[in-house]
């Protein structure tokens, strides 16, 4: 591939500049303000919070007596030479937590990018290495897709019993709204016999590979808060998103792509950038949006008139002058910047290569059912496969197209027409390439929809369904997930979970578990205490594990 | 779960653990107010003796040197003048020196040149801009509401207030009090009320169907967090759900502190200053002048008879027409009688207040849906119909008459309008009687959203006035039959407003008519209608004047003039507004919430401050103002330390306490506790003068050190926590922009005003509403300082975001500094950086230099404020020549690179383009982006 030769030439340049350096760029520990955050990660703990939860105390880097005059009283990194973290650190995840590609102080040139990994240093034997999250934003209706409710048919048109509602407020509908049965037909599929609605014929062909969770619950019933909750485990803003946590914990295997990539199709995302934000983690753990048109990554396109040669000349001069400055002021931050500019140059080539799907076979394109030129959820699914093939750790595909306050059946018919086949194809494609075994595919909305009909002439709504946090359905495949099963049940009306409730935090805990991480031990210290993805909740759903 | 009580368990632990563990435990266990250093009031530390007193010219230096002496290290040499000139300028004004300033300062060889430069910069109006940037991160200032919809908001007057507060040297205690409770100060000024915008940078949920009360509550949680973090460096939020695990803060104390904030309303305030207001004033005076001329240009009905004065005769003509008009209109006019509201409630806690004209105004909580129950005094007589007026008011969004958002700001939607008479009103209805209405009508209605829908018994349908906002609207409800009212009674009205997006009534008034005439919707405002029905001869003089003035405003004789007046009114710009808080007259009840959850109210609590800190004065009220004074009290051990630590961090890139957000037992202790205490006590000694403290810091020898890292220092103090060298770090995202614009001469130095929109790459449709309302600013506006960039929460400017500008979702008292490839790409390819490079190229080519070497030197000085060395010049010139050759050969598109539309000779265009590329390189140098 052409970009290799170009990036190679830039690397040679870097070798020239290494004279006078204390050590090669690759191993140069660098610092930044981010480094001064005390990073607990999975490593340490001198934190009594862990003790009191009855957890085994871990190796502590140092006890921390208060002595204002001592040099030994700052963050662990200050006490342990940074180099140690890169080379000698034996404390499991910390090594990977320090190795994310596009991060402040974790930057390595391609030559050393493929670090050997010691999987045994994770908390559990990992079943998966990467995640593709198909985020069906807007709130798909479990009743139209996964949760067949014959009883609801008998109550069609009758008001929902007050005993079911339990005084809960709903955004748009009244407490005496009428129940509405789904007119759609359900069929059994596969060996496991999982029942799916007629809107999901493709998914039916892979039910033996997926686990359907019909007992999902969440804490919010407006889109933005609920999307932020599913993404970050917290209703308030400022927490890291799942992808940020995972890349923080596991680092990246990609050499010239970001570790955490997000893409979008259909409508725009209500929750905004917070759904892939880094929260209080260093900014480099932010999800990087890839665009479906034009340049895939912002700012990767050269300015008008600049060709690749001019760009390379420019970067060479920048790096040369920076290097000269380094020899004078000897700030290691300059070395990091030199490496960052080199990586930027590579990224400029790799991003367009990624989205150039002309090399894919017609069979593949047909399987996804896509026109390679047109942006679509299907194209994003294919790109997701290409991303994980290139070592990207976490891919999130947002598809906000499920918010059917009116005509829920018609709306879902259209949404399924553009998502069912590609989502299924993604699982099949990963499987045939041997990637499914260690890639988790998660399909979920931020909440489900009410068994009651939504009718609102003022808003022009009829035969729709309202937001429903009490019960919804998600599915997972691959990466250590036991396929061919259905977990959980809802009551006869589909209103409450009646068996095996799975809270959003439980789902998040399970996801981390599959990646080999104990969700209570992937923490980050912020404002005096360790934070984690699952806040104070989360129980691993053992039934999901293969 | 709580940590075991140390007093009970410590005995056994002592038995079991070694001395180190014990020591560790002491600092882990919750400790009392007197045990943790930060909770003790700082004392003025004695000045230590140091080995090199001549270096330690300032008090601050003594404390730094003491630590270095102890560790056996020497401070670095003083940085070069050119380095210090740039460093000072960036620290104090956030701008690099211009070339002229730089030369001027370099020529000053007096011994106090540094101090003089510092003092000069401290007096610059850009000082306030630079330090506002620090504070805006902390208060999470943004220009949009966040959450779904993420609409723009107007709160920039707060930013203007902030800049001038810094520039005018507002003492910090006052600065804090005005922001926390400026509205409660006696005779609060406009500025003091604007300052309370401090509390308003919270998210605002405008998604349809949200629960107002929950998000009002969430916003207060955020305010407690922000206030406690910024001023006190406390992780008080930990105690929202349970007692703080490490610091002596209980959950009850959290909710008691919360109670101080719980009694605010969240209105907006008109800010009658600035160019927009001037324009309004001009237009309004034009309108007033035109209105006066009505009397002078009214056409004569017949030629003026000799002997009649011109003015006299004109009045006569007016009167003639006026009386004719009155007679015509009176025929259909109906007398309306305004009902006085006796009881009024809002189901969702909006505040209803009666105004003098008997209308009710809704303020305070702005719930998504609401139901008002209002009881009116009803006089005797036959009841023929009701008239509901929805009236504008300046306190309503876009002047109302509703309180709506999203689907029409200031609109309302009335789902059901029900009128009930109590029992025993008359013989016809021994039971309470619900009135039935026939053929209602309204001044404004949308298709399918007509007034009939408000009496159709279906609460899902409504009369919606979207499109008719900003002016009075009224609706007529004729009763099916005349209802005799035999004795004075009451009339109960239910206003059910069940739509979305806060479409509730804002100001409304109810009238009845006892007139037996056939009812029709008044085409004039109802009060005019009443005057007409009363008959001209029965009116008082002021009533007559009012009616006559009204006549002049509608008469066809003056159609042209009135149209002109209407056009002027339509052209009136919206008055600038800002978001503030006000204290509610009656207190809300605050509860302790179990596990910190909104729905789980436990016991009632009253407002108070945490016990571990100083108490409120004995007789002090327990309100927000008292809490503000408590924060800015000389007895507060935290505020001074916490703020000075943040200032130190801004200058040195790292706080003396590296966890500025946490001064509790889990925070990192200060590297220089005495220095921190000296700064905190000196701050009080100088009466909370922030500028004086910044001056102290930048005058110090510690500050003036070279930032070069010696091989030894790289190993013993890589992070420069012991301050044996000067600070060296990449400047803030906004400052990088300002650097480029200053070097290129493009910078617009105008201070204050609304935010602007710089160019931004297309964000696609990843994020909802990302591209809405982003129309790139033109002209000088486009080149304003980074501080003024429109901050859109759901879609932050990608260039700023990649350079670590926080999205301003939550309070940030520490910006991280990353160094990433995406950052490199943004710096290389962002439109503003490119435009700066192009402008620099123009400066270079226009500069009077003979050789490429001289031009390269000039370019270098422009961007880096120093002379390049020979090797640097050589590299630049080589690069320039190579690009010039490629450009001249036509391999590269010179016009595209130079961004030039002018027709120029090929050679000069190639030169311009080559210098553009060169300038782009210079702007991307580490040294350019760094404060050395």
Mean pLDDT computed over A512-540: 91
Q: Which residues of A touch B721 (CB under 8 A)?
A: 74, 78
In the DSSP assignment, the letter for residue A159 is B
Q: Which residues of A touch B838 (CB under 8 A)?
A: none
Cα–Cα distance measured from residue B48 to residue B264, given in angstroms and rounded to the nearest whole number = 48
- The vertex-A148 CA angle with A142 and A152, nearest 5°, equals 100
For A:38-57, CB contacts with B below 8 A are: 38, 46-49, 52-53
pLDDT at A166: 76
Decide if A307 touches B, using CB distance below 8 A: yes
Cα–Cα distance measured from residue A155 to residue B427, given in angstroms and rounded to the nearest whole number = 46
Domains of chain A are: 131-293+375-544 (3.40.720.10)
Q: By the 8 A CB rule, do B454 and B499 touch?
A: no
Decide if A114 touches B, using CB distance below 8 A: no
Cα–Cα distance measured from residue B594 to residue B255, given in angstroms and rounded to the nearest whole number = 10
Q: By the 8 A CB rule, do B390 and B505 touch?
A: yes
Q: By the 8 A CB rule, do B216 and B365 touch?
A: yes
B549-561 pLDDT tens trace: 999 999 988 999 9
Mean pLDDT computed over A91-109: 31
Please provide the CATH number assigned to the domain covering B337-517: 2.60.40
Among all chains, which residue has been given the structure tokens 């979305």? B500
Tell me which of A269 and B43 has the higher pLDDT.
Answer: B43
Show the DSSP H helices in B595-672 as ranges: 624-631, 639-652
Interface test with A, best of B926, B930, B931, B932 (most A CBs within 10 A): B926
Q: Which residues of B touch A300 (CB under 8 A)?
A: 825, 829
The pTM of this model reads 0.84
Cα–Cα distance measured from residue B311 to residue A298, given in angstroms and rounded to the nearest whole number = 72
The minimal CB distance from B235 to the residues A288, A317, A527 is found for A527
pLDDT at B847: 87
Residue of B613, B673, B684 lying closest to B648 (CA atoms) = B673
Q: By the 8 A CB rule, do B836 and B923 touch?
A: yes
Confidence of residue A27 (pLDDT cuts 50, 70, 90): very low
Cα B523 versus chain centre, distance: 41
Show the DSSP H helices in A70-149 as ranges: 76-79, 82-87, 93-97, 142-145
**Cα distances (angstroms) measured from residue B168 to each of A311, B33, B125, B689, B866:** 47, 36, 9, 10, 32
In the DSSP assignment, the letter for residue B630 is H
Q: Is the pLDDT at A94 greater than 80, yes or no?
A: no
Mean pLDDT computed over A38-53: 33
Cα–Cα distance measured from residue A358 to residue A382, given in angstroms and rounded to the nearest whole number = 12
Q: Is the pLDDT at B7 greater than 70, yes or no?
A: no
Q: Is the pLDDT at A50 greater than 80, yes or no?
A: no
Q: Name, in order, each residue with C-beta under 8 angstroms of B450's C-beta and a sequence gap of 6 or more.
A: B442, B463
pLDDT at A61: 23
- The whole-angstrom distance between A209's CA and the closest CA on chain B is 30
pLDDT at B424: 64
Q: By the 8 A CB rule, do B344 and B352 touch?
A: yes
Chain A to chain B Cβ contacts (< 8 Å): 362
Q: Is the pLDDT at B359 greater than 80, yes or no?
A: yes
What end-to-end distance do the CA atoms of chain B give, in Å?
48
Q: Where are the domains of chain B?
A: 316-333+522-575, 337-517, 832-931
3-state secondary structure string across A299-337: CCCCCCCCCHHHHHHHHHHHHHHHHHHHHHHCCHHHHHH
For A:328-347, CB contacts with B below 8 A are: 328-334, 336-337, 340-341, 343-344, 346-347
Among all chains, which residue has been given the structure tokens 């029905």? B533
Interface test with B, best of A227, A331, A406 (most B CBs within 10 A): A331
Provide the Cα torsion B132, B137, B143, B149; round to 10°. Answer: 180
Contact A303/B834, CB-based, under 8 Å? yes
Contact B707/A329, CB-based, under 8 Å? yes
Q: Which residues of B touch A171 (CB under 8 A)?
A: 207-210
**Cα distances (angstroms) measured from residue B60 to each of A73, A248, B706, B722, B729:** 21, 39, 17, 13, 21
B806-829 pLDDT tens trace: 989 999 999 888 888 889 999 999
Contact B820/A102, CB-based, under 8 Å? yes
Q: Name, in order, each residue with C-beta under 8 angstroms of A487's C-beta and a sequence gap of 6 or more.
A: A211, A212, A213, A214, A215, A500, A502, A541, A543, A544
For A:453-512, CB contacts with B below 8 A are: 455-459, 466-467
The minimal CB distance from B794 to the residues A63, A272, A298 is found for A272
Q: Which residues of A touch B825 (CB under 8 A)?
A: 297-300, 344, 347-348
Q: Is the pLDDT at B484 greater than 50, yes or no?
A: yes
Residue of A35, A525, A61, A57 lying closest to B666 (CA atoms) = A525
B62-99 pLDDT tens trace: 999 999 999 999 999 999 999 999 999 999 999 999 99
Contact A303/B767, CB-based, under 8 Å? no
Q: A325-339, A458-472, B842-856, B900-914 — which is least confidently predicted? A: B900-914
Q: What is the DSSP string of B407-438?
A: SSTT--EE-EEEEEEPTTSBTTBSS-EE--B-
Interface test with B, best of A67, A309, A327, A329 (most B CBs within 10 A): A329
Q: Which two tokens stand for residue B805?
A: 């500008």
Which chain A residue has its CA at the smallest distance from B726's CA? A329
For A:261-280, CB contacts with B below 8 A are: 262-264, 267-274, 277
Mean pLDDT computed over A95-105: 31
pLDDT at A281: 86
Cα–Cα distance measured from residue B250 to residue B608, given in angstroms and rounded to the nearest whole number = 12
Tell me which of B156 and A83 has the higher pLDDT.
Answer: B156
Cα–Cα distance measured from residue A249 to residue A100, given in angstroms and rounded to the nearest whole number = 9
Cα–Cα distance measured from residue B801 to residue B733, given in angstroms and rounded to the nearest whole number = 8
Average pLDDT of chain A? 78
Contact A174/B459, CB-based, under 8 Å? yes
Contact A528/B27, CB-based, under 8 Å? no
In the DSSP assignment, the letter for residue A239 is P
- The whole-angstrom distance between A395's CA and the closest CA on chain B is 14
Contact B897/A66, CB-based, under 8 Å? no
B613-665 pLDDT tens trace: 999 999 999 999 999 999 999 999 999 999 999 999 999 999 999 999 999 99
Residue of B368, B220, B415 lying closest to A222 (CA atoms) = B368
Contact A74/B926, CB-based, under 8 Å? no
pLDDT at A74: 32
Contact A340/B205, CB-based, under 8 Å? no
E strand residue ranges, B683-768: 729-730
The minimal CB distance from B658 to the residues A36, A47, A82 is found for A36
Q: Which two tokens stand for residue A21?
A: 């350096």
CB neighbour class for B924 (10 Å; exposed up to 12, middle 13-18, buried from 19) = buried
B703-721 pLDDT tens trace: 999 999 998 888 889 889 9
% chain A with pLDDT above 70: 78
Average pLDDT of chain B? 91
Q: Is the pLDDT at A95 greater than 80, yes or no?
A: no
CB atoms within 10 A of CB A81: 14
The minimal CB distance from A73 to the residues B203, B464, B668 is found for B668
Q: Which residues of B touch A328 (CB under 8 A)?
A: 708
Q: Which residues of A touch B886 (CB under 8 A)?
A: 309-310
């Amino acid at each position: 591939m052409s970009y290799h030769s170009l990036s190679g030439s830039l690397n040679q340049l870097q070798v020239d500049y290494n004279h006078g350096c204390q050590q090669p760029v690759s191993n140069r520990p660098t610092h930044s303000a981010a480094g001064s955050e005390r990073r607990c990660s999975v490593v340490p703990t001198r934190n009594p919070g862990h003790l009191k939860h009855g957890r085994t105390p871990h190796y502590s880097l140092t006890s921390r007596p208060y002595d204002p005059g001592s040099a030994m009283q700052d963050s662990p990194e200050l006490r342990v030479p940074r180099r140690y973290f890169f080379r000698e650190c034996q404390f499991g995840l910390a090594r990977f937590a320090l190795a994310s590609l596009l991060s402040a102080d974790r930057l390595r040139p391609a030559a050393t990018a493929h670090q050997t990994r010691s999987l045994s240093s994770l908390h559990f034997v990992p079943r998966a290495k990467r995640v593709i999250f198909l985020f069906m934003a807007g709130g798909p209706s479990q009743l139209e897709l996964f949760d067949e409710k014959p009883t609801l048919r008998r109550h069609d048109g009758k008001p929902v019993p007050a005993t079911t509602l339990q005084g809960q407020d709903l955004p748009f509908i009244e407490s005496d709204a009428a129940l509405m049965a789904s007119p759609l037909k359900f069929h059994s599929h596969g060996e496991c016999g999982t029942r799916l609605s007629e809107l999901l014929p493709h998914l039916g062909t892979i039910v033996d590979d997926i686990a359907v969770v019909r007992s999902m619950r969440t804490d919010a019933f407006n889109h933005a808060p609920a999307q932020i909750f599913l993404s970050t485990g917290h209703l308030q803003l400022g927490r890291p998103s799942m992808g940020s946590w995972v890349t923080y914990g596991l680092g990246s295997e990609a050499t010239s792509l970001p570790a955490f990539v997000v893409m979008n199709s259909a409508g725009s995302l209500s929750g905004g950038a917070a759904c892939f934000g880094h929260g209080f983690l260093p900014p480099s753990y932010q999800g990087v949006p890839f665009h479906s048109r034009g340049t895939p990554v912002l700012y990767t396109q050269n300015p008008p008139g600049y060709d690749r040669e001019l760009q390379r000349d420019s970067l060479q001069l920048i790096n040369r002058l920076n290097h000269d400055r380094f020899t004078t002021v000897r700030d290691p931050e300059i070395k990091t910047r030199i490496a960052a500019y080199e990586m930027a140059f590579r990224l400029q080539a790799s991003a367009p290569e990624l989205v150039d799907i002309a090399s894919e076979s017609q069979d593949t394109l047909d399987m996804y059912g896509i026109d390679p030129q047109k942006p679509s959820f299907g194209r994003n699914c294919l790109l997701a496969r290409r991303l994980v093939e290139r070592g990207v750790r976490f891919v999130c595909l947002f598809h906000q197209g499920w918010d059917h306050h009116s005509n829920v059946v018609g709306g879902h018919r259209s949404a399924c027409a553009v998502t069912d086949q590609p989502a299924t194809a993604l699982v099949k494609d990963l499987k045939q390439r041997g990637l499914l075994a260690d890639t988790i595919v998660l399909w979920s909305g931020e909440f489900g929809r009410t068994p009651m009909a939504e009718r609102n002439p003022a808003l022009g709504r009829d035969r729709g369904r309202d937001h429903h946090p009490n019960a919804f359905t998600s599915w997972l495949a691959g990466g250590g997930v036991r396929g061919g099963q259905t977990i959980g049940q809802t009551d006869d009306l589909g209103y409450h979970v009646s068996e095996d409730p799975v809270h959003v935090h439980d789902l998040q805990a399970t996801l981390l578990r599959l990646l080999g991480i104990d969700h209570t031990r992937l923490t980050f210290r912020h404002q005096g205490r360790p934070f984690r993805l699952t806040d104070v909740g989360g129980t691993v759903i053992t039934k999901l594990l293969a | 779960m709580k940590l075991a009580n140390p007093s009970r368990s410590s005995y056994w632990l002592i038995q079991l653990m070694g001395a180190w563990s014990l020591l560790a435990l002491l600092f882990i266990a919750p400790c009392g107010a007197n045990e943790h250093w930060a909770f003790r009031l700082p004392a003025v530390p004695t000045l230590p003796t140091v080995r090199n007193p001549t270096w330690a010219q300032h008090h601050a230096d003594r404390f730094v040197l003491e630590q270095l002496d102890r560790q056996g290290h020497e401070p670095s040499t003083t940085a070069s003048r050119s380095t210090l000139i740039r460093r000072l300028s960036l620290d104090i004004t956030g701008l690099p020196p211009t070339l002229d300033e730089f030369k001027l300062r370099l020529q000053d060889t007096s011994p106090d040149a540094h101090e003089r430069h510092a003092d000069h910069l401290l007096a610059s109006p850009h000082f306030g801009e630079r330090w506002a940037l620090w504070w805006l991160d902390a208060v999470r200032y943004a220009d949009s509401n966040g959450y779904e919809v993420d609409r723009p908001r107007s709160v920039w007057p707060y930013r203007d207030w902030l800049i001038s507060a810094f520039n005018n040297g507002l003492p910090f205690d006052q600065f804090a009090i005005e922001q926390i409770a400026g509205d409660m100060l006696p005779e609060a000024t406009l500025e003091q009320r604007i300052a309370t915008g401090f509390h308003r940078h919270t998210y605002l949920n405008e998604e349809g169907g949200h629960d107002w009360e929950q998000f009002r509550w969430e916003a207060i949680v955020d305010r407690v967090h922000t206030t406690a973090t910024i001023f006190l460096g406390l992780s008080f939020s930990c105690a929202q759900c349970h007692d703080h695990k490490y610091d002596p803060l209980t959950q009850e104390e959290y909710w008691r502190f919360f109670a101080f904030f719980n009694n605010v309303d969240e209105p907006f305030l008109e800010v009658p200053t600035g160019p927009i207001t001037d324009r309004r004033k001009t237009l309004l005076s034009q309108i007033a002048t035109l209105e006066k001329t009505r009397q002078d240009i009214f056409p004569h009905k017949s030629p003026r008879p000799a002997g009649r004065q011109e003015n006299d005769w004109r009045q006569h003509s007016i009167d003639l027409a006026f009386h004719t008009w009155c007679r015509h209109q009176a025929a259909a006019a109906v007398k309306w009688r305004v009902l006085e509201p006796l009881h009024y409630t809002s189901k969702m806690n909006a505040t209803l207040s009666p105004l003098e004209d008997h209308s009710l105004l809704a303020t305070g909580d702005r719930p998504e849906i609401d139901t008002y129950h209002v009881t009116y005094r009803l006089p005797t007589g036959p009841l023929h119909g009701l008239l509901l007026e929805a009236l504008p008011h300046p306190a309503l969004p876009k002047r109302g008459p509703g309180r709506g958002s999203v689907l029409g700001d200031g609109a309302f939607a009335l789902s059901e309008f029900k009128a009930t008479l109590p029992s025993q009103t008359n013989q016809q209805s021994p039971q309470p009687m619900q009135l039935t209405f026939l053929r209602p009508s309204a001044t404004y209605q949308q298709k399918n959203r007509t007034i009939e829908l408000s009496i159709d018994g279906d609460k899902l349908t409504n009369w919606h006035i979207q499109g008719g906002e900003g002016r009075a609207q009224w609706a007529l409800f004729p009763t099916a039959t005349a209802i005799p009212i035999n004795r004075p009674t009451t009339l109960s009205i239910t206003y059910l407003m069940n739509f979305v997006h806060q479409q509730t009534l804002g100001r409304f008034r109810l009238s009845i008519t006892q007139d037996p005439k056939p009812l029709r919707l008044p085409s004039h405002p109802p009060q005019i209608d009443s005057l007409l029905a009363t008959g001209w001869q029965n009116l008082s003089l002021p009533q007559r004047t009012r009616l006559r003035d009204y006549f002049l405003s509608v008469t066809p004789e003056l159609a042209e003039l009135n149209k002109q007046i209407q056009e002027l009114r339509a052209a009136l710009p919206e008055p600038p507004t800002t978001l503030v808080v006000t204290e509610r007259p009656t207190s809300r009840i605050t509860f302790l919430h179990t596990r910190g959850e909104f729905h789980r109210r436990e016991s009632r609590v009253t407002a108070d401050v945490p016990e571990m800190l100083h108490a409120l004065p004995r007789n002090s009220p327990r309100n927000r103002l008292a809490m503000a004074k408590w924060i800015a009290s000389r007895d507060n051990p935290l505020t001074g330390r916490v703020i000075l630590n943040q200032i130190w961090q801004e200058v040195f890139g790292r706080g003396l306490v590296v966890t500025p957000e946490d001064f509790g037992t889990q925070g990192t202790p200060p590297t220089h506790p005495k220095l921190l205490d000296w700064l905190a006590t000196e701050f009080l000694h100088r009466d909370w003068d922030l500028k004086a403290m910044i001056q102290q810091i930048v005058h110090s020898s510690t500050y003036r050190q070279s930032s070069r890292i010696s091989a030894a220092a790289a190993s013993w103090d890589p992070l420069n926590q012991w301050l044996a060298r000067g600070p060296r770090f990449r400047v803030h995202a906004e400052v990088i922009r300002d650097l480029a614009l200053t070097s290129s001469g493009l910078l617009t130095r105008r201070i204050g005003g609304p935010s602007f929109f710089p160019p931004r790459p297309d964000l696609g449709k990843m994020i909802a509403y990302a591209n809405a309302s982003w129309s790139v600013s033109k002209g000088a506006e486009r080149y304003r300082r980074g501080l003024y960039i429109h901050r859109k929460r759901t879609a932050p400017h990608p260039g700023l975001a990649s350079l670590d500008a926080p999205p301003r979702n939550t309070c940030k008292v520490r910006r991280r500094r990353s160094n990433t490839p995406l950052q490199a790409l943004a710096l290389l390819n962002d439109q503003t950086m490119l435009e700066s490079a192009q402008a620099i190229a123009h400066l270079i080519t226009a500069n009077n230099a003979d050789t490429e070497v001289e031009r390269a030197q000039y370019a270098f000085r422009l961007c880096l404020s120093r002379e390049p060395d020979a090797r640097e010049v050589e590299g630049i010139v080589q690069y320039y020549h190579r690009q010039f050759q490629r450009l001249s050969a036509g391999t590269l598109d010179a016009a595209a690179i130079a961004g030039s539309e002018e027709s120029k000779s090929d050679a000069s265009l190639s030169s311009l383009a080559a210098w553009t590329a060169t300038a782009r390189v210079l702007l991307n140098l580490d040294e350019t982006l760094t404060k050395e």
